[in-house]
Chain A
Amino acid sequence: MANENNKTSETNENTAKSENKKALRSVSATPHIRDHSSTARIMSLVIVALMPATLDGIRVFGPKALAIILISIVSCIVFEWGFEKITKQKVTIGDRSAVLTGLLLALNLPVSVPLWMPVLGGFFAIVVVKMLFGGLGKNFMNPALGARCFLMLSFSKLMTDFSYRPGGNGADVVSGPTALASLKNGEAYDLKQMFLGYEAGTIGETSALSLLLGGCFLIAIGVIGWELTYTYILSLLVFVAIFSGHGLDINYLSAHVYGGGLMLGAFFMATDYVTRPITKKGQILYGIFLGVLTGIFRLYGPGAEGVSYAIIIGNLIVPLIERVTLPKHFGYQKPAKAAKN
């Protein structure tokens, strides 16, 4: 149009005088159509993708796992609602992100923790990590992981007690090191059991199979891209192959992939939209950073596990990654060449 002045004021008084006596029709800036995606829908899809791992966790660790999951979800919702009520903001629990945070937090807790643990974790995740920084989309750290690391540092003993009763109360307590800890100490490990989730660990991290199912579902429907997860796992493997001294031992490498929080972290935590870089290039860089960091923590750190710390440290360097991975726009020309035109 000749005059591109896109005036979209809906309160134009002049037209009230025109013969058209009907109410003014609504106007808006372009585009006038929207697709059917929504934040709540995306959150729901991630929750659905976590269901195999959740159900597996309940199956292996018994009804107490279910109790921890429910308490965690409910407390996250209540804290978000309460915080928004107290600070007189719009209540946003409808976007289902609090449900997801609650679920992820529970999946990151061992089944042996006391029941106040998920409540405290929910408070830290929602109020301290998320709401104090401005709510959904503004937090610079993954809330569930932030809370997990907080609990790990504050209650290390409770948080690393991986004893559990397979299938519920009737069974005997199984206690022992996680598969990853056995791996680190050079003890025996059973790859098949690790893949299926019959091992010590947090509620949601043990079954590589169900996490893989959920993760592939998310990639297949396009909720997350494959790049970040792929580069994360691959770079960890490369790092481990080079520095562990085991070289290309396929069993040893597989154990690193199935063991610990890598599957949960790489598919569901590192890919958290808010705290990962927005461009594909940035995500690849971020994946490599996470892989190397996890490798360092696993091989040289005091504990066997490294995914949670790697991801929250990774979260902190995301703004820097974003800065260096600003995409070249369409039609970009090198300054020297552009000067000629």
Chain B
Amino acid sequence: MLKLTFRGGCHPYDGKDLSKDKAIKEWLPKGELVYPLSQHIGAPAKVIVEKGSHVLAGECIAEAGGFVSAPIYASVSGTVKSVEKRRVVTGDLVDCIIIENDGKYEKAPAITDKPYEEMSREEVIATIQKAGIVGMGGAGFPTHVKLSPKEPDKIDTVIVNCAECEPYLTSDYRKMLEEPDLLIKGLQIETALFQNARGVLAVEDNKPDCIKLLKEKTKDLENISVAVLKTKYPQGSERQLIYAVTKRQINSKMLPADAGCIVNNVDTVISICNAVTKGEPLMHRIVTVTGDAIKDPQNFKVLTGTDYSELIEAAGGFIQEPKKIISGGPMMGFALFDLHIPVTKTSSALLCMTEDEVARWEPSACINCGRCVEVCPSRLVPAHLADHAEHFNEEEFLRYNGMECVECGSCSYVCPAKRQLAQSIKTMRKIQLAKRKK
């Protein structure tokens, strides 16, 4: 069968065997819960509770700070302890709401009691907005914004990103296996928003059981299909995924909607289904706790706000003291120097590694081998871009299309000279993006 793919990319060791056969377990938090006000792209949420007030599980504690923003819900019942700065995965100190868990898990009323069948298109999107759903693959872009393109009739493909191309991650895989009906229902809800759209579940071919299951479940559905992708990193990158499925290319100045596509992650689509059919706001997600330093790698259903250190405990602790702990996958995740960091809407994994491969290698001179050019999914010349970035040659950096980089890190991964290509390029990109905003 024809397998869809893109040009470039690399094949890092995938490590998924550690946790792929572990069924999702629910983990209930013990200590206090921390809710950062910025768990999404856009304006931070605004606090609507006060210190000392009592909240229920599923009660809104911070409302959206604008259109491109998302509300935040308490995931437990308890008392608001304070609103203070806490450290998040990026290492920044961010305003957070701290809630003391009373252990009762008293539930707040559903965010909507209207059955899905009676909802209008606008009401569905409003419900998704109200549920605080954001892109749970890592970017955290508010989903209702994605679902409101300028010309909805031009959307012809709604893609569910089931690629999970990051090594070690198995949270999406488990979700697909365990809740395929919710996933398909969620996709149907999405496709119904666009009159010309078909739904595509895009799965990498290293998950044959998912492909089989989803094909079986969707065989009678007319406008939903399963697309089989070649296993390659970064297949789950939005632009590369759209290209693989539709052969349309978009660049950094365009949105998926410009190519007639909407792309959402597995967990996001399931959250859409839960919000629209059950009135559940977004307050939990699946986190894979894995790595060679973890005793018993697991996939947990975790309430947002839970402290990462609890998850380590839940997975049996460390067999060996890890050298590096990463929130997310090894290619694009954030390294943590401290474990007291809350799970947010965008946390997908906690990866504990006994070796720091970056520190093991000393960067040396570029030998111009061209491997970075071969793997770059954006078809750039990372070796030259990194040179321009390191010499702060902004003009040349832009002329070499540095802003088209998707920051996948494939160039650094394959570099035989072990140069920090992605790091240099990303730093320069941030500088340029900051300048644009001014």
When the two chains form their complex, are residues A29 and B422 in contact, meaning their CB atoms are under 8 A apart? yes
Task: Fill in one digit per residue for B378-422: 1 if any A CB lies within 8 Å of its CB, else 0.
Answer: 111101100000000000000011001001011011111110101
Given A29-B426, A326-B381: A333 touches B251 (CB 8 Å cut-off): yes
- Pair B337/A326 contact, Cβ less than 8 Å: no
SS class of chain B's interface: helix, strand, loop or mixed? Answer: loop
Interface-forming stretch among A131-139, A160-168, A256-264?
A131-139
Report yes or no: B369 in contact with A27, Cβ–Cβ below 8 A: no
How far is it, in angstroms, between the C-alpha of A295 and the C-alpha of B212 when the chains are bound? 58
**Is the CB of B264 closer than 8 A to any CB of chain A?**
no
B-chain residues with CB within 8 Å of residue A3 when the two chains form the complex: 38, 88, 90, 92, 94
Q: Are B12 and A42 closer than 8 Å at their CB atoms?
A: no
Contacts of A9 in B (CB 8 A): 91
A149–B333 alpha-carbon span in the complex (Å): 51
Residue-wise interface mask of A (17-57) relative to B, using a CB-CB cutoff of 8 A (1 in contact, 0 not): 01110101111111111110111011000000000000000
Q: Report the nearest B residue to A32, measured CB to CB.
A: B330
Interface centre among B325, B339, B370, B401 (most CB of A within 10 A): B370
- The stretch from B102-110, B112-120, B199-207, B359-367 touching chain A is B359-367
Interface: B353 (CB within 8 A): yes
Knowing A8-B91, A274-B367 are in contact, say whether A330-B379 is a contact too (CB < 8 A).
Answer: yes
Assuming A18-B340, A24-B338, is B40 touching A2 (CB within 8 A)?
yes
Per-residue A-contact encoding for B62-98, CB less than 8 Å = 1, 0 else: 0000000000000000000000000111111110000
B: contact size bracket: 35 or more
Whether B416 contacts A41 by the Cβ 8 Å rule is yes
Q: Tell me if B126 is interfacial: C-beta within 8 Å of chain A.
A: no
Report if B180 contacts A (CB, 8 A): no
Q: Are B378 and A33 in contact (CB under 8 A)?
A: no
**Which residues of B are in contact with A by a Cβ distance under 8 Å?**
10, 12-13, 36, 38-42, 44, 87-94, 138, 140, 167, 239-240, 243, 249-254, 258, 321-326, 330-340, 346, 353, 356-361, 364-371, 373, 377-381, 383-384, 400-401, 404, 407, 409-410, 412-418, 420, 422-423, 426, 430
Can you name 7 A-B pairs with beta carbons within 8 Å? A2-B38, A2-B42, A3-B92, A4-B430, A26-B324, A35-B12, A329-B379
Spell out A's residues near B (CB within 8 Å): 1-10, 12, 14-15, 18-20, 22, 24-35, 37-39, 41-42, 92, 95, 97, 135-138, 225, 273-276, 278-280, 326-333, 338, 341
Given A14-B93, A275-B368, 7 extra CB contacts under 8 A: A1-B334, A1-B346, A25-B335, A26-B335, A27-B324, A31-B332, A35-B413
